[in-house]
Amino acid sequence: MNRDDTKSEDTNFDEMSDEDKRHDQLTTAPKSEESDAAPRVDITERADGPTRIDVRDDAVVRPGKTTGRDEKA
């Protein structure tokens, strides 16, 4: 890869939307799956108050206590 190729790739990345960048980053790992890029939070922005961030009910990965599957024996 020469220097011009790198510059071209950076330019394409800069032109991507934030959503496309997130999807690209989460699905390029060798064992990644399309579901890795699924939304995990809902964000509600209100003009008159705070921004609310909620973990989606259908999120595969959730904060908090692990299930027995993830715990070490």
- Please write the tens of the pLDDT for every residue from 9-58: 555 778 899 989 989 998 999 999 988 888 888 999 988 889 999 999 88
Give the whole-angstrom CA distance, residue 41 versus residue 56: 5
pLDDT of residue 28: 92
Q: Is residue 73 part of a domain?
A: no
Q: pTM score, two decimals? A: 0.51
Domain presence at residue 69: no
Cβ within 8 Å of residue 61, ≥6 positions away? 40
Domain that holds residue 45: 3-27+37-55
Report if residue 61 sits inside a domain. Answer: no
Averaged pLDDT for residues 56-69: 74
> Per the structure, how many domains does the chain have?
1
* pLDDT for the residue numbered 8: 45
